[in-house]
Amino acid sequence: MCSDGRMERKRIMDDRSNVVLKLNGVSKSFAKVEQDEVTHALDHVDLEMESGEFISLVGPSGCGKSTVLRLVAGLIRPTLGSVTVNENEVDGPSPQRGMVFQKSTLFPWLTVEKNIAFPLKAQGKLKENEDKVEHMLDVIGLRHFRNDYPGQLSGGMAQRVALVRTLISQPQILLLDEPLGALDAFTRMNMQDEILSMWREKRQLALMVTHDVDEAIYMGTRVIVMDANPGRIIADIRIEEDFPRNRSSQGFIAYRNMILNRLHFAGEK
Protein backbone atom coordinates (compact mmCIF):
# COMPACT_ATOMS: atom_id res chain seq x y z
CA MET A 1 0.00 0.00 0.00
CA CYS A 2 1.31 3.48 -0.77
CA SER A 3 2.13 5.89 2.06
CA ASP A 4 -0.96 7.98 1.21
CA GLY A 5 -3.06 4.91 1.92
CA ARG A 6 -1.24 4.40 5.26
CA MET A 7 -1.78 8.06 6.19
CA GLU A 8 -5.46 7.80 5.34
CA ARG A 9 -5.78 4.66 7.42
CA LYS A 10 -3.97 6.32 10.35
CA ARG A 11 -6.24 9.37 10.07
CA ILE A 12 -9.29 7.13 10.24
CA MET A 13 -7.87 5.15 13.18
CA ASP A 14 -7.07 8.39 15.08
CA ASP A 15 -10.58 9.68 14.59
CA ARG A 16 -12.59 8.88 17.69
CA SER A 17 -15.70 8.32 15.61
CA ASN A 18 -13.91 5.43 13.92
CA VAL A 19 -15.66 2.08 14.27
CA VAL A 20 -14.34 -1.42 13.85
CA LEU A 21 -17.09 -3.94 13.22
CA LYS A 22 -16.30 -7.63 13.67
CA LEU A 23 -18.20 -10.81 13.09
CA ASN A 24 -16.32 -13.39 15.14
CA GLY A 25 -17.14 -17.01 14.23
CA VAL A 26 -20.78 -16.14 13.68
CA SER A 27 -23.28 -18.91 12.99
CA LYS A 28 -27.00 -18.34 12.72
CA SER A 29 -29.55 -21.13 12.46
CA PHE A 30 -33.29 -20.93 12.03
CA ALA A 31 -35.72 -23.75 12.82
CA LYS A 32 -37.95 -24.59 9.87
CA VAL A 33 -41.55 -24.33 10.93
CA GLU A 34 -43.47 -27.67 11.01
CA GLN A 35 -40.33 -29.57 10.03
CA ASP A 36 -37.72 -31.19 12.16
CA GLU A 37 -35.01 -29.30 10.29
CA VAL A 38 -32.72 -26.35 10.73
CA THR A 39 -31.54 -23.78 8.16
CA HIS A 40 -27.89 -22.84 8.57
CA ALA A 41 -28.23 -19.26 7.39
CA LEU A 42 -24.61 -18.55 8.39
CA ASP A 43 -21.84 -20.92 9.34
CA HIS A 44 -18.73 -19.66 11.18
CA VAL A 45 -18.46 -16.32 9.44
CA ASP A 46 -15.45 -14.15 10.32
CA LEU A 47 -15.38 -10.63 8.93
CA GLU A 48 -13.70 -7.41 10.02
CA MET A 49 -14.61 -3.99 8.64
CA GLU A 50 -13.96 -0.40 9.64
CA SER A 51 -14.98 3.19 9.01
CA GLY A 52 -14.08 4.38 5.54
CA GLU A 53 -14.90 1.04 3.94
CA PHE A 54 -17.84 0.43 1.62
CA ILE A 55 -18.55 -3.28 1.72
CA SER A 56 -20.75 -4.89 -0.94
CA LEU A 57 -22.24 -8.30 -0.15
CA VAL A 58 -23.17 -10.44 -3.16
CA GLY A 59 -24.25 -14.05 -3.52
CA PRO A 60 -27.17 -16.27 -4.49
CA SER A 61 -30.53 -15.97 -2.72
CA GLY A 62 -30.51 -17.59 0.68
CA CYS A 63 -26.74 -17.31 1.29
CA GLY A 64 -27.29 -15.19 4.40
CA LYS A 65 -26.64 -11.64 3.14
CA SER A 66 -29.68 -10.11 4.85
CA THR A 67 -28.97 -12.17 7.94
CA VAL A 68 -25.56 -10.47 8.20
CA LEU A 69 -27.24 -7.05 8.04
CA ARG A 70 -29.90 -7.96 10.58
CA LEU A 71 -27.23 -9.26 12.98
CA VAL A 72 -25.23 -6.03 12.67
CA ALA A 73 -28.42 -3.97 13.08
CA GLY A 74 -29.04 -5.87 16.33
CA LEU A 75 -32.43 -7.11 15.14
CA ILE A 76 -31.41 -10.75 15.67
CA ARG A 77 -28.66 -12.44 17.75
CA PRO A 78 -26.12 -15.02 16.55
CA THR A 79 -26.63 -18.67 17.47
CA LEU A 80 -22.86 -18.93 17.96
CA GLY A 81 -20.07 -16.33 17.98
CA SER A 82 -20.43 -12.59 18.38
CA VAL A 83 -20.90 -9.32 16.53
CA THR A 84 -18.93 -6.42 18.03
CA VAL A 85 -18.54 -2.70 17.36
CA ASN A 86 -15.28 -1.42 18.85
CA GLU A 87 -15.14 -4.60 20.98
CA ASN A 88 -18.64 -3.99 22.42
CA GLU A 89 -21.12 -6.76 21.70
CA VAL A 90 -24.12 -5.72 19.61
CA ASP A 91 -27.15 -6.63 21.71
CA GLY A 92 -29.90 -4.53 20.14
CA PRO A 93 -30.64 -1.79 17.63
CA SER A 94 -28.93 1.62 17.86
CA PRO A 95 -29.33 4.91 15.96
CA GLN A 96 -25.60 4.58 15.16
CA ARG A 97 -26.47 1.61 12.94
CA GLY A 98 -29.00 2.90 10.39
CA MET A 99 -30.71 0.43 8.11
CA VAL A 100 -32.46 0.88 4.77
CA PHE A 101 -34.66 -2.08 3.89
CA GLN A 102 -35.59 -3.50 0.48
CA LYS A 103 -39.11 -2.16 0.82
CA SER A 104 -39.57 1.33 2.09
CA THR A 105 -40.71 1.52 5.69
CA LEU A 106 -42.08 5.04 5.88
CA PHE A 107 -44.54 6.34 8.44
CA PRO A 108 -47.79 6.46 6.43
CA TRP A 109 -49.27 9.23 8.60
CA LEU A 110 -46.37 11.63 7.99
CA THR A 111 -45.71 13.65 4.83
CA VAL A 112 -42.56 13.14 2.75
CA GLU A 113 -40.91 16.13 4.41
CA LYS A 114 -41.83 14.99 7.92
CA ASN A 115 -40.66 11.44 7.22
CA ILE A 116 -37.24 12.75 6.14
CA ALA A 117 -37.02 15.10 9.12
CA PHE A 118 -38.15 12.45 11.61
CA PRO A 119 -34.71 11.13 12.76
CA LEU A 120 -33.39 14.69 13.27
CA LYS A 121 -36.53 15.64 15.19
CA ALA A 122 -36.25 12.52 17.37
CA GLN A 123 -32.66 13.52 18.23
CA GLY A 124 -33.65 17.15 18.92
CA LYS A 125 -31.42 18.35 16.02
CA LEU A 126 -34.01 19.51 13.52
CA LYS A 127 -33.73 23.30 13.98
CA GLU A 128 -30.03 23.52 13.08
CA ASN A 129 -30.44 21.01 10.24
CA GLU A 130 -33.48 22.27 8.36
CA ASP A 131 -31.31 22.98 5.29
CA LYS A 132 -30.36 19.30 5.20
CA VAL A 133 -34.01 18.35 4.79
CA GLU A 134 -34.26 20.80 1.87
CA HIS A 135 -31.07 19.37 0.36
CA MET A 136 -32.38 15.81 0.66
CA LEU A 137 -35.66 16.77 -1.02
CA ASP A 138 -33.60 18.08 -3.95
CA VAL A 139 -31.32 15.04 -4.01
CA ILE A 140 -34.28 12.71 -4.50
CA GLY A 141 -36.13 15.14 -6.78
CA LEU A 142 -39.23 15.24 -4.60
CA ARG A 143 -39.41 18.89 -3.59
CA HIS A 144 -42.85 19.19 -5.21
CA PHE A 145 -44.06 16.15 -3.31
CA ARG A 146 -42.97 17.32 0.14
CA ASN A 147 -46.55 17.54 1.40
CA ASP A 148 -47.65 14.19 -0.03
CA TYR A 149 -48.12 11.07 2.09
CA PRO A 150 -46.30 7.77 1.35
CA GLY A 151 -49.52 6.17 0.08
CA GLN A 152 -49.58 8.75 -2.73
CA LEU A 153 -46.06 7.89 -3.98
CA SER A 154 -44.82 5.21 -6.38
CA GLY A 155 -42.66 2.42 -4.91
CA GLY A 156 -39.48 4.00 -6.28
CA MET A 157 -40.30 7.43 -4.90
CA ALA A 158 -41.08 5.99 -1.47
CA GLN A 159 -37.77 4.09 -1.49
CA ARG A 160 -35.85 7.29 -2.25
CA VAL A 161 -37.50 8.93 0.75
CA ALA A 162 -36.64 5.92 2.96
CA LEU A 163 -33.02 6.07 1.83
CA VAL A 164 -32.44 9.74 2.62
CA ARG A 165 -34.36 9.44 5.89
CA THR A 166 -31.65 7.03 7.07
CA LEU A 167 -28.76 8.96 5.51
CA ILE A 168 -29.79 12.28 7.05
CA SER A 169 -28.85 11.34 10.60
CA GLN A 170 -25.40 10.13 9.46
CA PRO A 171 -25.16 6.85 11.36
CA GLN A 172 -21.63 5.49 11.99
CA ILE A 173 -22.64 2.28 10.26
CA LEU A 174 -24.92 2.40 7.25
CA LEU A 175 -26.72 -0.87 6.47
CA LEU A 176 -28.25 -1.06 3.00
CA ASP A 177 -30.37 -4.09 2.13
CA GLU A 178 -30.80 -3.83 -1.66
CA PRO A 179 -31.87 -0.22 -1.27
CA LEU A 180 -31.91 0.54 -4.99
CA GLY A 181 -33.46 -2.68 -6.31
CA ALA A 182 -36.86 -1.13 -7.01
CA LEU A 183 -35.57 1.91 -8.90
CA ASP A 184 -35.39 2.44 -12.65
CA ALA A 185 -31.87 2.26 -14.12
CA PHE A 186 -31.40 6.03 -14.46
CA THR A 187 -32.56 6.93 -10.94
CA ARG A 188 -30.56 4.00 -9.64
CA MET A 189 -27.30 5.32 -11.07
CA ASN A 190 -28.00 8.80 -9.69
CA MET A 191 -28.70 7.36 -6.26
CA GLN A 192 -25.52 5.28 -6.38
CA ASP A 193 -23.53 8.49 -6.91
CA GLU A 194 -25.45 10.32 -4.22
CA ILE A 195 -24.90 7.57 -1.65
CA LEU A 196 -21.20 7.48 -2.58
CA SER A 197 -20.76 11.22 -2.22
CA MET A 198 -22.39 11.19 1.22
CA TRP A 199 -20.28 8.22 2.27
CA ARG A 200 -17.05 9.84 1.02
CA GLU A 201 -17.80 13.01 2.95
CA LYS A 202 -18.33 11.29 6.30
CA ARG A 203 -16.32 8.09 5.76
CA GLN A 204 -18.80 5.93 7.65
CA LEU A 205 -18.71 2.18 7.37
CA ALA A 206 -21.25 1.14 4.74
CA LEU A 207 -22.43 -2.43 4.32
CA MET A 208 -24.68 -3.05 1.32
CA VAL A 209 -26.45 -6.14 0.01
CA THR A 210 -26.98 -6.13 -3.74
CA HIS A 211 -27.78 -8.64 -6.48
CA ASP A 212 -26.12 -6.40 -9.04
CA VAL A 213 -22.43 -7.23 -9.50
CA ASP A 214 -21.74 -3.95 -11.35
CA GLU A 215 -23.32 -1.98 -8.49
CA ALA A 216 -21.21 -3.96 -6.00
CA ILE A 217 -17.99 -3.01 -7.83
CA TYR A 218 -19.04 0.55 -8.69
CA MET A 219 -19.71 1.35 -5.03
CA GLY A 220 -17.59 -1.06 -3.00
CA THR A 221 -14.09 -0.74 -1.62
CA ARG A 222 -14.49 -4.47 -0.94
CA VAL A 223 -16.81 -7.05 -2.42
CA ILE A 224 -17.65 -10.04 -0.22
CA VAL A 225 -18.91 -13.02 -2.22
CA MET A 226 -21.08 -15.51 -0.33
CA ASP A 227 -22.52 -18.95 -1.00
CA ALA A 228 -25.45 -20.84 0.51
CA ASN A 229 -26.09 -24.13 2.36
CA PRO A 230 -24.55 -23.26 4.70
CA GLY A 231 -24.24 -19.48 4.29
CA ARG A 232 -20.55 -18.53 4.21
CA ILE A 233 -17.96 -16.22 2.65
CA ILE A 234 -16.15 -17.62 -0.37
CA ALA A 235 -14.21 -14.52 -1.49
CA ASP A 236 -13.21 -11.15 -0.07
CA ILE A 237 -12.06 -8.92 -2.93
CA ARG A 238 -10.55 -5.46 -2.44
CA ILE A 239 -11.48 -3.13 -5.32
CA GLU A 240 -8.35 -1.11 -6.08
CA GLU A 241 -9.95 1.38 -8.49
CA ASP A 242 -10.23 5.13 -7.93
CA PHE A 243 -13.60 6.83 -7.47
CA PRO A 244 -15.57 7.77 -9.51
CA ARG A 245 -15.34 4.40 -11.17
CA ASN A 246 -15.61 3.77 -14.85
CA ARG A 247 -17.89 0.83 -15.58
CA SER A 248 -16.17 0.14 -18.88
CA SER A 249 -12.53 0.39 -17.75
CA GLN A 250 -10.33 -2.68 -18.10
CA GLY A 251 -9.89 -2.92 -14.34
CA PHE A 252 -13.65 -2.79 -13.74
CA ILE A 253 -14.29 -5.49 -16.34
CA ALA A 254 -11.59 -7.68 -14.79
CA TYR A 255 -13.27 -7.42 -11.37
CA ARG A 256 -16.65 -8.18 -12.94
CA ASN A 257 -15.29 -11.31 -14.59
CA MET A 258 -13.57 -12.42 -11.39
CA ILE A 259 -16.74 -12.03 -9.30
CA LEU A 260 -19.07 -13.56 -11.89
CA ASN A 261 -16.68 -16.46 -12.10
CA ARG A 262 -16.85 -16.97 -8.33
CA LEU A 263 -20.66 -16.69 -8.39
CA HIS A 264 -20.89 -19.11 -11.30
CA PHE A 265 -19.12 -21.72 -9.27
CA ALA A 266 -21.15 -20.93 -6.14
CA GLY A 267 -23.41 -23.84 -5.30
CA GLU A 268 -21.01 -26.45 -6.75
CA LYS A 269 -19.45 -28.52 -4.02
Number of residues binding to ligand ADP, judged by CB under 6 A: 12
- Does residue 30 belong to the site contacting ligand ADP (CB under 6 A)? yes
Return the number of the residue (34 or 128) whose C-beta is nearest ligand ADP: 34
Rounded to the nearest 10 degrees, what angle do helices 155-167 and 112-122 cross at?
20
Window of 18-26, 60-68, 215-223, 261-269 that interacts with ligand ADP by CB under 6 A: 60-68
Could you tell me if 96 and 171 are in contact, meaning their C-beta atoms sit under 8 angstroms apart?
yes
Report which residue type is found at 41: A
By CB atoms closer than 10 A (0-12, 13-18, 19+), residue 60 is: middle
Q: From the CB of 213, what's the least distance to ligand ADP, in Å?
A: 14
- Does residue 39 belong to the site contacting ligand ADP (CB under 6 A)? yes
Q: From the CB of 34, what's the least distance to ligand ADP, in Å?
A: 12
Question: Which position among 27, 56, 66, 104 is part of the footprint of ligand ADP (CB under 6 A)?
Answer: 66
Return the number of the residue (22 or 65) whose C-beta is nearest ligand ADP: 65
Residues 6+ apart with CB under 8 A from 89: 82, 83
Q: How many residues in total does the chain contain?
A: 269
Question: Which position among 21, 45, 51, 64 is part of the footprint of ligand ADP (CB under 6 A)?
Answer: 64
Return the number of the residue (66 or 111) whose C-beta is nearest ligand ADP: 66
- Does residue 62 belong to the site contacting ligand ADP (CB under 6 A)? yes
Q: From the CB of 219, what's the least distance to ligand ADP, in Å?
A: 18
- Does residue 63 belong to the site contacting ligand ADP (CB under 6 A)? yes
Return the number of the residue (67 or 166) whose C-beta is nearest ligand ADP: 67
- Does residue 41 belong to the site contacting ligand ADP (CB under 6 A)? yes
Report which residue type is found at 207: L
Q: Tell which phi-psi region holds residue 152, choosing left (phi > 0), alpha (psi between -120 and 50) or beta.
A: alpha
Could you tell me if 233 and 47 are in contact, meaning their C-beta atoms sit under 8 angstroms apart?
yes
Window of 63-71, 164-172, 199-207, 216-224 that interacts with ligand ADP by CB under 6 A: 63-71
Interface with ligand ADP in residues 223-242 (CB under 6 A): 231
Alpha helix locations (H) across the chain?
3-14, 65-73, 112-122, 130-139, 155-167, 185-202, 213-219, 250-265
Window of 48-56, 62-70, 89-97, 140-148 that interacts with ligand ADP by CB under 6 A: 62-70
Give CA–CA dist 68/50, Å, rounded. 15
- Does residue 65 belong to the site contacting ligand ADP (CB under 6 A)? yes
The DSSP bridge pattern shows strands 20-31 and 80-85 to be antiparallel
Q: From the CB of 234, what's the least distance to ligand ADP, in Å?
A: 13
Could you tell me if 49 and 207 are in contact, meaning their C-beta atoms sit under 8 angstroms apart?
yes
Return residues touching ligand ADP (CB under 6 A): 30, 39, 41, 59, 61-67, 231
